[in-house]
Amino acid sequence: MMAMRRAIVVAAPALTALSLVGQCRAQSAIRATGVLCSVVTLRRIDPTQAVPGSCRAAGTVSEASSSVSIGIVGFGLVARELAQQLEKQRASLRCAGTDVNIVAVARSRYMELSTQGEDVIKAMTADSKKRPTDLNQFGDFMHSSPGQRVIVDCTADDAPAELYASWLSAGISVVTPNKRAGSGSIDRYRQVREAARAGGSRFLYETTVGAGLPILSTLQDLLRTGDVVHKVEGIFSGTLSFLFNDGGRRPFSAVVREASELGFTEPDPREDLNGVDVQRKVAILARECGVHLELSDIPVESLVPKDLESWSPSEAERAEGLAISFVRKLEPYDEVMAQRMAEAESKGEVLRYVGVIDVANGTAMVQLRAVPKSHPFAGTQHADNIVTFATARYTPRPLVVQGPGAGAAVTAAGAFADILRAASV
Ligand SMILES: NC(=O)c1ccc[n+]([C@@H]2O[C@H](COP(=O)([O-])OP(=O)(O)OC[C@H]3O[C@@H](n4cnc5c(N)ncnc54)[C@H](OP(=O)(O)O)[C@@H]3O)[C@@H](O)[C@H]2O)c1
């Protein structure tokens, strides 16, 4: 394999620098990916000189030296927020030398391509004739767009994921909060990763787990720098976090009702309570650790009572609202959950809905588990996500990442950061 050399200047305190030299020399995994890691010189650096001169003066306009063409598939909550964030940062990015342009947008039925430099975001909301969505045509258009090309899949659909490999092998990077490719069939997942390698493009999906929280990038950094990850555990659903952070003060169905009223649940709360969304995130993390599981290899404890799995709402129940009707159906099961919570409380524990990846054993699972009140998971609030990484370096205390793991603003910001990473901005 051909090895790449890149010069990297690291500003670090003396002790850190010496440790870095040791780890760099020991890291054969990086060499295997084709990057040579060698320390050439250790030198004292004045940190103020590491900051490149940029247009700091207000109103300065400079010539951009590079450009990024962005195509967005999906135009819902996350995509609209992303378009706004990109627009707001355009001047700063240009000032720093990069022109960022959204040149194509697709919804499920129609799309806009900026063939003559039109503002596609405006065009999407204008009352004008639209092109029918054709994601192959969308990909061809992106391929012929100037500069670096990035397609951002902001859908929850499988159709864009089916095209990632062809986009990536054509040199177009893909950024996405959509969990379909990361947790779908292993064969397609491998094709996507291989296509990125072959096409010299990037496949970035930080926001598929924990929205804007640095969970996947933290894991990747641990692995790339030669740490040995033993176990990854976490609360990966903001909705399920909220349901158990209430501490059992109210009936479970009442908390589900509140979560639904706050917009935390899917229109049908069974889609949250069945744990499949968490199962997908666990599959993504497991694969990142080299444990190549299919979704069906990951047992899930569903919180939907067996009898309600096949509940099909009547016309009247639909008219009243799916969530409200479901909550009423859930009420008779409150006692079962109350007993579990009381049992945990009697042992000084609380219930948390967790996903676990046991890297050494190559297994993963999703379950409602009792944890001691001193455990980091017991301290979650509101709709927090939390993840612990138990590794060879992070021992005996694990590395912990915690914070809000859902919401359009933080998800869009995470995707935005991935776009800049893909374009090396
Ligand atoms: N919202 C969050 O807080 C959050 C957090 C983390 C991750 N995510 C993930 O981010 C993604 C987007 O979430 P969202 O909340 O923005 O969803 P959303 O509001 O439901 O928007 C989804 C968009 O995808 C479009 N779409 C569906 N199938 C399509 C197809 N085949 N081709 C083109 N467009 C298609 C829809 O088109 P129409 O408008 O025509 O229906 C809609 O505009 C999902 O994968 C979600 O799981 C969301």
Max alpha carbon distance in the chain (Å)?
74
Write phi, then psi, for 263 (nearest 5 degrees): 80, 15
Does the residue 218 lie in any domain? no
Structure tokens at 164: 């990632």
Instruction: Give the CA distances from residue 59 to residues 100, 184, 415, 418, in Å, rounded to whole numbers and listed in that order.
Output: 18, 47, 27, 27
Find the CATH number of the domain harbouring 136.
Answer: 3.40.50.720
CA-based radius of gyration for the chain: 24
Ligand 1 geometric centre to CA of 340 (Å)? 36
Catalytic residue list = 281
Ligand 1 geometric centre to CA of 398 (Å)? 34
251/358 same-domain check? yes
Does the residue 126 lie in any domain? yes
Query: Which atom of ligand 1 lies nearest, measured to the CA of 111?
Result: 33
Three-state SS at 378: helix
397/418 same-domain check? no
The single residue listed with the structure tokens 């008219």 is 319
Does the residue 133 lie in any domain? yes
Do 166 and 188 form a contact (C-beta atoms < 8 A)? Answer: no
**Angle ∠(290,72,119) on CA atoms, nearest 5:** 160
Three-state SS at 162: helix
Cβ-proximal residues to 88 (8 Å cutoff; 6+ apart), any chain: none
Q: How confident is the model at residue 22 (pLDDT cuts 50, 70, 90)?
A: low
CA 356/CA 281 separation, integer angstroms: 10
Give the residues surrounding ligand 1 with Cβ less than 6 Å away: 73-79, 106-109, 133, 154-157, 159, 177-178, 207, 211, 406-408, 411
39/84 same-domain check? no
Burial of 322 (0-12, 13-18, 19+ CB in 10 A): middle
254/292 same-domain check? yes
Ligand 1 geometric centre to CA of 153 (Å)? 8
Does the residue 3 lie in any domain? no
251/344 same-domain check? yes
Res 46: pLDDT: 42
CA 224/CA 35 separation, integer angstroms: 11
Does the residue 137 lie in any domain? yes
Ligand 1 geometric centre to CA of 423 (Å)? 23
State pLDDT tens for residues 165-200.
999 999 999 999 999 999 999 999 999 999 999 999
Res 58: pLDDT: 47
Question: How many other C-beta atoms are found inside a 10 Å radius of the C-beta of residue 107?
Answer: 17
The best mutation among 78, 164, 239 to test binding of ligand 1, ranked by most ligand atoms within 8 Å of the C-beta, falls on 78
Does the residue 324 lie in any domain? yes
Res 7: pLDDT: 59
147/201 same-domain check? yes
Q: What residue owns the CA closest to ligand 1's atom 10?
A: 177
199/275 same-domain check? no
Which domain covers residue 186, as residue numbers? 66-211+410-422
State pLDDT tens for residues 322-350.
999 999 999 999 999 999 999 999 999 99
165/238 same-domain check? no
H/E segment holding residue 73:
strand 66-73
Q: How confident is the model at residue 50 (pLDDT cuts 50, 70, 90)?
A: very low
209 secondary structure, DSSP code: T
Query: Which atom of ligand 1 lies nearest, measured to the CA of 407?
Result: 3
Query: Which atom of ligand 1 lies nearest, measured to the CA of 77?
Result: 16
377/267 same-domain check? yes
State pLDDT tens for residues 75-108.
999 999 999 999 999 999 999 999 999 999 999 9
Q: Give the number of domains in the chain.
A: 3
State pLDDT tens for residues 237-292.
999 999 999 888 899 999 999 999 998 999 999 999 999 999 999 999 999 999 99
Share of the chain above pLDDT 90, in %: 81
What's the whole-number average pLDDT of the chain? Answer: 90
294/187 same-domain check? no
Find the CATH number of the domain harbouring 315.
Answer: 3.30.360.10
39/78 same-domain check? no
Query: Which atom of ligand 1 lies nearest, measured to the CA of 208?
Result: 7
Does the residue 56 lie in any domain? no
Q: What residue owns the CA closest to ligand 1's atom 3?
A: 407
The best mutation among 109, 138, 142, 154 to test binding of ligand 1, ranked by most ligand atoms within 8 Å of the C-beta, falls on 154
Q: Which residue would you say has higher pLDDT here, 217 or 27?
A: 217
Q: What residue owns the CA closest to ligand 1's atom 5?
A: 406
Distance of CA 84 to the CA centre of its chain: 19
254/380 same-domain check? yes
Does the residue 263 lie in any domain? yes
What string of DSSP letters covers 234-275? Answer: EE--HHHHHHHHTTTSS-HHHHHHHHHHTT-S-SSTHHHHT-
